[in-house]
Structure formats: C-alpha cells, structure tokens
Amino acid sequence: MAGPTGYSAVGGRTWRSHLGLWLSVFFLVSPAILVFLWMLSLSLKTEVDNTAYPPVFVPSPLTLANYIETFEKNRILLYFWNSILVTGGAVIVGLLVGVPAGYGIARSRAAKSAVVILIARMTPALSYLIPLFLLFQMLGLVGTITGLLITHLVITVPIIVWVMIGYFENVPRELEDAAFVDGATTWQGFALIALPLARPGVVVGAILAFIFSWNNFIFSVVLAGKNTRTLPSAVYNMLTFEQLSWGPLAAAALLVTLPVLLVTVIAQREIVAGLSSGGLKDG
C-alpha cells in the first residue's frame, strides 16, 4: 500500500536494518510456507515415503496416485459441485439483497441496522444451527442444497452489507443529489450513479463472502445428506469415518482449499483493501 511516507522511510537505511527486515520477513512467512509445502509434499509422495522416519521432504518418486485414489474412492466432483451451488447461490443472493442494503444504510445513516450486522458477526455460527435445524426438519429442507444455501446466507449477507456500507459512504452524495435535481428517482441514483462507482466494493464483498462461505463446514456436517455434502465437510467425514492413509487425505485437503487459495492470489489487492478496512470473517 503506497500510503504516505510512514515509519519506514524516515528510518535509517543501514545494512543492519536491512538484515533485520529480511530476518523478520523470513520468520513471518516461513510458517505459512512450511504448512502449505508440507501439504503438497504429503500429497505427492508414496505411502512408504509418507510414513518414513526421518520424514522425506522432496517427493521421489513423484506420484499422482494419491490424487487418483481420492477421485476414485470419493465422489469429489459431486461434492465440488455441491460446494459451487451452495457457495455460488449464497453469494449471489447475498449480493442481491446485501448491495442495496449497504446503499440504504450508508445513505440514511441508519447506524442501528449496522449494529444488527455487528452482532450477527459476533454470534457463533453453531448457535444458528439448532433453531434452523428444527425449522428445516419441519419444512423438509434437511439434507437439501436449498437448505444449506439458506444457512450460508448467515455468512454472506453480513459480510457483503458491511463491506458495501464502507464503499457507498465513500461515494460522494453530491453526485446523486445533482441527478435528483434533474428528476432522477432514488433507484436511478443508486443503479446508475452510486453502484458503478462502488463496483470495487461489490468485488471485494463477493470475494470475501465466497471465501468464508466456501470454508464453512459445520453447516454441512449437521444439515447435509450423503449426496448434498459440501467439499469441506466431505473431507471432515473422510477423516472421522474412513481410515485413510496420509497421502490421499493430504491430496483431498489440498483440493478443498485450492479454489480459495487461487482466488486469494488472483485478488490479493482487493482482499487487502477490503480486510484492512474492517476485518471480518464468517460467523
């Protein structure tokens, strides 16, 4: 972030400060690298290498057998599709209701409605599950994709509303006021003026909602049936109910988290902007 010259630029630039900087960076980044590389390594090694001591770091021979086994023994593609449906649906509905709400709250300065969002952010996701589970039993929604999609709105709607409030507040009100003078309706002011200007916010909100909805697994553990599980809860079930060896488990773990990691890498600028401004994550 190219902010104003801060703490750094005024400090001395000696070799010692450079060394300190790079040691800091090394120490900070290496835990992340260790875990991700170890996951990759486990997923590409043979079972013999995975259970060897001392551990084998670089896979040799390199094998894709773990991935093949994961695909053959589990219905990964079905779970992947379920995740796409649930997360995709929850993000789309979240945008449809959340973006206008963010605009309405920002423009009317209805701080009280923002408080509801904050409290929703504080509540553990699990606590929504008990009443929704009972309700879904009555409505016949347990074990359906629709039911899961509805519960994921608990995650996506607050994130999107919260992000959009911030972005709409930064769209100058005067632009819309000028349009209103020319006879534009409130809706036109929103759709034709404010929304295009706040489009980066829509991207940020959608990305964050996607990531945290994708990562959620407890809703699916409790509510999904055998055929409607999302990817994270399917992997959780592999761990608890089937005795699998390390290689295929690591391969499955990597496949689950790969989509969000790719999104993170592609959209890192938007994510940094969105999160350094509010700091939220799922319920």
Partner 1 sequence: MPPASEVTAGRVALPSRAASRPPAHDFSRKYGWFILPALIVIAAVIVFPWLFTLWMSVHDWNVTGDHRFVAFDNYRRLVSDERFLESVARTFWFTALAVIIPIALGLWAALTFHRHFPWRGILRTVFVMPMMATPVAIALVWTMMFHPQLGVLNYLLSLAGIPPFAWVYSPDTVIPTLVMVEVWHWTPLVMLILLGGLAGLPTDPYESALIDGASRWQMFRYITWPLILPYVMIAVVIRTIDSLKVFDTIAVISQGGPGTASETLNYFLYLQAFQFYNIGYASAVVVVFFVIIIALSLLLLHLRQKTKWNA
> For residues 25-54, which are near partner 1 according to CB under 8 A?
25, 28-29, 31-33, 35-36, 38-39, 42, 51-54
58 binds partner 1 (CB under 8 A): no
* Cα→Cα distances 225→132, 142, 143, 147, 251, Å: 16, 8, 4, 11, 23
CA dist., res. 191 & res. 198, Å (int): 10
Q: Does 59 bind partner 1 (CB under 8 A)?
A: no
218: contact with partner 1 by CB under 8 A: yes
**Quick one: 63 or 215, whose CB is closer to partner 1?**
215
Q: Please choose, from the candidates 249, 254, 263, the residue with its C-alpha nearest in 3D space to the C-alpha of residue 87.
A: 263
**Binding residue (CB under 8 A) for partner 1 from 58, 92, 130, 192:** 130
Residue 65 CB, nearest distance to partner 1 (Å)? 17
Residue 61 beta carbon to partner 1: minimum distance, rounded to whole angstroms: 20
Site for partner 1 (CB under 8 A): how many residues? 117
Between residues 62 and 265, which has the closer beta carbon with respect to partner 1? 265
| 79 binds partner 1, rule: CB under 8 A | no
Q: Is 68 in the site for partner 1 (CB under 8 A)?
A: no
19 lies in the binding site for partner 1 (CB under 8 A):
no
Residue 183, interface with partner 1 (CB under 8 A)? no
Residue 191 binds partner 1 (CB under 8 A): no
Q: Distance (Å, rounded) from C-alpha 44 to C-alpha 160? A: 38
Q: How far is the CB of 86 from partner 1 (least distance, A)?
A: 14
What residues from 153 to 172 belong to the interface with partner 1 (CB under 8 A)? Answer: 153-154, 157-158, 161, 166-167, 169-170
**CB of 131 vs partner 1, minimal distance in Å:** 4
**Contact between residue 45 and residue 67 where contact means Cβ atoms under 8 Å apart:** no
Asked whether position 139 contacts partner 1 by CB under 8 A, the answer is: no
Rounded to a whole number of angstroms, the minimum distance from the CB of residue 236 to partner 1 is: 5
Q: How far apart are CA 148 and CA 87, in angstroms?
A: 9
CA quadruple 209, 158, 79, 85: dihedral positive or negative? negative
**Dihedral in degrees, nearest 10, Cα atoms 108, 113, 118, 123:** -160
Answer yes or no whether residue 60 interacts with partner 1 by CB under 8 A.
Answer: no
127 binds partner 1 (CB under 8 A): yes
**By the rule CB under 8 A, 86 interacts with partner 1:** no
Quote the tokens at residue 230: 């999302």
Site for partner 1 contains 84 (CB under 8 A): no
Which of 48, 77, 111, 181 is the binder for partner 1 (CB under 8 A)?
111
Q: Are 76 and 58 in contact (CB under 8 A)?
A: no
Alpha helices in the chain (DSSP H): 7-10, 15-44, 47-50, 65-73, 76-108, 111-122, 125-139, 145-169, 173-181, 186-188, 195-197, 199-215, 218-223, 231-241, 246-266, 268-275
